[in-house]
Amino acid sequence: MVINVHAHLGHKNHHSDAFWNISARFYSNLMGVPLETIRKQMEPFQNYDAKLFVEQMDAAGIDKALVMAVDFEMNSDVGEAPWSIEEINHWVVKQANEYPDKLFTLCAIDPRRGERAIKLLEKAVVEWGMKGLKLHPTAGYYPDDPSFFPLYEKCLELDVPVYSHTAATIGPPFMSKYADPIYLDSIAAKFPDLEIVLIHFGSLSYHLKCAEIMFTRSNVYAELSGYQAQALLMPEYFLKNLRSILDAPGIKPHKDRLMFGTDWPMLETIMDQKNWVDWVKNIPEKGKEYGLKFKQREIRKILIDNAKKFLKL
Ligand SMILES: [Zn+2]
């Protein structure tokens, strides 16, 4: 069994035209490809539904997955999408409900939506069965703003965790400074019973900060999506770091709190889900090339056991 705690379902109407145009210009510049070519390549990213995802998760040997949308729309350069944030999250729920034994959902909300965010979260969890709150602070907010505390108190009341993006790799107009995990540390300190998941485990810039935060915050967890790029381009660096982090102590050992994720479909062009699952399964063998010892049991915790426990499956 493999459990993926981070993947996306999406539809063109989840974002404004401005979002699609800004994204196309960014990828065109990044990859040196004409704008029209990029627009064509982006078409699959405008309708990635549960049917497509489940086909690909089956092929990758992934048994269960947490799926979610993203709420970028409060960013002033992006603007509201054709669908409301309620409609977007409900679409994700309806998609996931087609595969009730495989898919679970998170409710993506920008906490700047205030009272509306609290009402939506409550409905999402109580009526729709969603499993937690998903934040993407790069849209333009520090997650430890005290005006968001009532939303976190609602998470506690509903007994669901907060998942938040922590990685500096983000295209314009989104801003990496808001992805610094130190602002989640403040929430973890203020709400020691609130479970917080550091999405992407800080990636290249913030992973040591994530590890350090987890040392004293037993309510903080992490997942490894996004590391496909490091695994491909700098495997020795990735494996040495992973070895150190698995060995790190803490109130709750780090090795019991790291989970597996893919961020599908975002990283498919770098390393597809099947290759990423196989890469992680093969870490004990790969480690030997660099004189590093990994036990199958440690990898099993990342791929299965930690998420199973965390998601109460
Ligand atoms: Zn994501």
Q: In the prediction, which pLDDT does 43 show?
A: 82
Mean pLDDT of 69-83: 93
Residue 103, beta-bridge partner list = 65
Cα–Cα dist 81/69, whole Å: 12
Following CA atoms 163, 164, 167, 169 in sequence, which dihedral angle do they give, to the nearest 10 degrees?
Answer: 110
Q: In the prediction, which pLDDT does 297 show?
A: 97
Q: What is the DSSP letter of 243?
A: H
Strand ranges inside the chain, DSSP E = 3-8, 10-11, 47-48, 64-68, 103-105, 107-108, 133-135, 162-165, 196-199, 220-223, 258-259
Q: Are 73 and 83 in contact (CB under 8 A)?
A: no
CB-based neighbours (< 5 A) of ligand 1, an ion: 263
Among 35-44, 130-139, 244-253, 293-302, the least confident range: 35-44
Q: To which residue do tokens 């915790």 refer?
A: 301
Cα 288 to ligand 1 centroid, rounded to whole Å? 31
Mean pLDDT of 127-143: 98
CB-CB neighbours of 3 under 10 Å: 23
| pLDDT, the chain, mean | 95
Q: In the prediction, which pLDDT does 41 show?
A: 84
Pick 3-310's CATH classification: 3.20.20.140, 3.30.70.580, 3.90.1150.10, 3.30.420.480.
3.20.20.140
Cα 291 to ligand 1 centroid, rounded to whole Å? 32
Percent of the chain with pLDDT over 70: 100
Q: Are 104 and 96 in contact (CB under 8 A)?
A: yes
Give per-residue pLDDT as tens, 162-204: 999 998 877 889 999 999 999 999 999 999 999 999 999 999 8
Q: Where are the domains of the chain?
A: 3-310
Q: Are 195 and 156 in contact (CB under 8 A)?
A: no
pLDDT band at 310 (very low <50, low <70, confident <90, very high): very high
Cα 135 to ligand 1 centroid, rounded to whole Å? 10
Computed on alpha carbons and rounded to an integer, the radius of gyration of the chain in Å comes to 18
CA distances, 154 to each of 90, 107, 124, 161, 194 (Å): 19, 13, 12, 10, 10
Cα 165 to ligand 1 centroid, rounded to whole Å? 7
Q: Are 266 and 7 in contact (CB under 8 A)?
A: no
